[in-house]
Amino acid sequence: MSAKVTAGLCILWQCFHLSRSSIGHMKYLNLKAINWGLPLAGHKFNVTPIATSRVTNHIKCMVHCAETEGCVAINLGPAQAGEHECEMLETTRYSIFNAKFTAKAGWKYVGPKTKCDVNPCRKGFWCIAQEYETGYTCLDPVGEPCTPLSMESGKILDGAITASTSYNSALGPANARLNVNRGWCAWTTTNAGQQSGWIQVDLGEIIWVTGVATQGRCVSPQWVKSYKVSYSTDGQNWKFYDESGSTKYLTDISNIEIDGVSFTSAITIASALNSFFVSIGEKLAEKFNPTSSARNGPTPSGFTFSFESVTEQFVLNAINQLKAKKSCGLDKINARLVKDAADVITPSITKIINISLTTPKFPSAWKNAKVIPVFKHGPKSNPTNYRPISILPVLSKILERAVYTQFNCFLNNHHLISPKQYGFRLKSSTITAVTMFTDKILQSMDNGKVTRTVFLDFKKAFDTVNHNILISKIRALGADDNACLWFTSFLANRTQVTCCNNTKSDPASISIGVAQGPLLFIVYVNDLPKCLKFCDVTLYADDTVLSFASSSTDEIQRKMNSDLNCIHNWLLDNQLTLNVEKSKFMLIGCSRRLSKINSIPYQSINDSTLAHVQSFLYLGILVNR
């Protein structure tokens, strides 16, 4: 794990200029004497010195360093008029800044003697020294290109590869190598084609595995379509590799068909899926007038929202709350690295966030999303059967947390969110929404009434949010000009890259929809309850259910139709689309009352008839008559 921490700091160095005070944990502080290593001629460690002087040789430079607080290494420049420039450094070449140690003619570097001087790490890995010659850590400096684990080369011996079963000797586990040229060029279980069996590789030591590659048989078109990966440090206790708290199935997509065109290569599949995902919201928005806008209520009297600067303590808390197992974005910085480096990077992250809130601009590098297509069900060649999971840079989530905390607090303090909305709110949950909904139905039944309930489904609701309408609603709630400009910057010029089959597409621009997090969508639908005249409504983000109770079915029909017409107009104003096929209605009441109803009047919206059902799965709870 220590290797991961250091690697993360090295990546972060490319993004932020850490001050000397922010890297204090790496200093060899208060050393009375330095156990110097051998001078390295023709090299320089390219970091900012804490002090400089002019000396006649490297020995005097080393003396100056020993006398300077915090100095642990030196660079000695080329001779000029009998003197050399002496640069005194507060960190060594065997630190997180290893990449800054470069060849430079005429220069000489001298640092303290460390365990890294004997090059203990494998080729291509950096050696990170611990203080006072106590030890070292080896790490892959960036994470790619990866160093092969020697399965293909054969350095991992056949005896280290075992399996649950083998189809025959020609398909044994030792043949489970890339580009193997023996037997039938693969390993297969006795029950080939079924989802069972395992293969295990003893790597001989604890290693950070960053990728897995598979290959089909060399003599026939057969290959593994999906698999899971588990890992162990003792060969007894195993854990599945997971993302977002669930086991990760690694699946290859062999073919995608869009509009009669088939895509089969890895890059064309990734590009086709990326274009398809981006086009979902755009195609739904095409039918609306692009210049139309939703009707806005007046700005709440006396309420104004402005961003406030965040403190380092807030940022540190936000970092500590990150889920360590979350996948990293396109910048390859994962949450575990950020959490382990929290003490070092918090001042810099805090400064970036406060600059963003005051400028007001959202960092463009944090607008690029990595999209993973997750298969749901049905034919795998159909792109609609894949759910796009968007992964944003970890650091962007800290800034989003700061904005969410401030804006959500403002909305709650002034009671600006509709009480009909139960989604992602403090002291609310799906259980709260279902309880409130069913309690009203039960009360109506106690009063001898019948309730008509309409479950509305919006097509790709989050993907079709119009940015201009959203900003107008944010302004209507009281956001000042600076906050509105920040939200505009946050939404604008976003891109995404779809990753699958070990490759990735080119970036595609996103012009519609809201990014991660439900708060902006809740703001977008916040005025929906106000358009209703008769019905009660229960909202959980985009899950919407209308209900109206009466002892007269004619009254139910008339008033429900009136409010559904209001919903239709609201959807047009806000450029959202109703999914008629998935929207259903029910008639709920006691058996005695329902038995007296000879026929159930149909329910429609905008001349489209909704299906009548006897039961409906609402927020995970089965509601029936």
DSSP string across 459-514:
TTTGGG--HHHHHHHHHHTTB-HHHHHHHHHHHTTEEEEEEETTEEPPPEEE-SS-
Q: How far apart are CA 349 and CA 395, in angstroms?
A: 8
How far apart, in whole angstroms, are the C-alpha atoms of residue 2 and residue 337?
9
Tell me whether residue 7 is in a domain: yes
Total count of domains within the chain: 3
pLDDT at 238 over 70: yes
Do 100 and 172 reside in the same domain of the chain? no
Give the residue numbers spanning the domain of 70: 40-112
- The confidence score (pLDDT) of residue 146 equals 44
Judged by average pLDDT, the poorest of 115-119, 305-309, 399-403, 590-594 is 115-119
Question: In a 3-state reduction of DSSP, which class is residue 149?
Answer: coil
Q: State the number of CA atoms in the 13 A half-sphere of 91 facing the CB.
A: 24
To the nearest 10 degrees (0 to 180), the angle between helices 342-358 and 2-13 is 30
End of a domain among 205, 231, 251? 251
Residue 260: inside a domain: no
**Residue 386 buriedness (CB in 10 A; 0-12 / 13-18 / 19+):** buried
Residue 8 — pLDDT band, cuts 50, 70, 90?
very low
Average pLDDT, the chain: 82
Is 294 a domain residue?
A: no
Residue pair 260/272 in contact by the 8 Å Cβ criterion: no
Same domain, 369 and 422: yes
204 or 400: which leads in pLDDT: 400
pLDDT in tens, 303-342: 899 999 999 999 999 999 988 777 788 988 888 888 888 8
Whether residue 97 contacts residue 37, with contact meaning beta carbons closer than 8 Å, is answered with no
User: Which of these, 431, 453, 458, lies nearest to 284 by C-alpha position?
Assistant: 458
Express each pLDDT in 153-163 by its tens digit.
778 888 888 88
CATH code where residue 160 lies? 2.60.120
User: Nearest 5°: phi and psi at 583?
Assistant: -85, 135
Domain boundary among 251, 272, 291: 251
Return the percentage of the chain with pLDDT > 90, whole number: 38
Highest mean pLDDT among 170-184, 366-380, 572-586: 572-586
* Least confidently predicted of 119-128, 210-219, 448-457: 119-128
pLDDT digits (tens, 9 = 90+) for 469-483: 999 999 999 999 999
Of residues 203 and 277, more confidently modeled: 277
Q: Is residue 98 part of a domain?
A: yes
Q: Where are the beta strands (DSSP E) in 206-323?
A: 226-228, 230-231, 239-240, 242-243, 246-247, 249-251, 256-258, 261-263
pLDDT of amino acid 516: 58
Last residue of a domain, one of 204, 226, 251: 251
User: Average pLDDT in the 1-29 region?
Assistant: 29
Check if the beta carbon of residue 429 is closer than 8 Å to that of residue 435.
no
Q: Return the closest-CA partner of residue 450 out of 458, 460, 459, 440.
A: 440
Are residues 510 and 432 part of one domain?
Answer: yes
Render pLDDT for 25-66 as a digit per residue (tens, 0 to 9): 333 333 336 778 888 889 998 888 889 999 998 888 888 888
On whether both 181 and 78 belong to a single domain, the answer is: no
Q: Is there a domain that residue 334 lies in?
A: yes
Residue 262 lies in a domain: no
Do 330 and 207 have their domain in common? no
Same domain, 163 and 88: no
Maximum mean pLDDT: which of 6-10, 147-151, 201-205: 201-205
pLDDT band of 623, cuts 50, 70, 90: confident
One domain, residues 543 and 594: yes
Q: What is the pLDDT of residue 112?
A: 85
Lowest-confidence segment of 175-189, 380-394, 549-563, 577-591 by average pLDDT: 175-189
Q: CATH number, domain at 58? A: 3.50.4
Of the candidate ranges 3-17, 244-258, 507-521, 544-558, the one whose mean pLDDT is the lowest: 3-17
Let me know if residue 325 belongs to a domain: yes
One domain for residues 491 and 546: yes
Q: 412 — phi, psi (to 5°)?
A: -70, -40
Rounded to whole angstroms, how far apart are CA atoms 201 and 593? 67
Give me the mean pLDDT over the 348-361 stretch: 96
Give CA torsion, residues 314, 331, 489, 295, to 10 deg.
Answer: -90
Let me know whether 395 and 506 are in one domain. Answer: yes
3-state secondary structure of 59: helix
Q: Note the pLDDT of residue 31.
A: 37
Of 196 and 282, which is predicted with more confidence? 282
| Contact residues for 59 (Cβ-Cβ < 8 A; gap 6+) | none
| CA 479 – CA 485 distance, rounded (Å) | 10
CA distance 551 to 549: 7
295-307: per-residue pLDDT in tens? 545 455 468 999 9
Quick one: 444 and 344 in the same domain?
yes
Q: Which residues pair with 239 in a beta bridge?
A: 231
Per-residue pLDDT tens for 409-437? 999 999 999 999 998 888 888 888 888 99
Contact 524, 475 (CB under 8 A): no
Q: Pick the residue with more confidence: 125 or 321? A: 321
- Residue that is written with structure tokens 């079915």 in the block: 553
Domain membership of residue 14 (yes or no) is yes
Q: Are residues 533 and 439 in the same domain?
A: yes
Please check whether residues 178 and 217 belong to one and the same domain: yes
The confidence score (pLDDT) of residue 621 equals: 82
Residue carrying the six token digits 């940022």: 315
How much is the average pLDDT of 550-570?
91
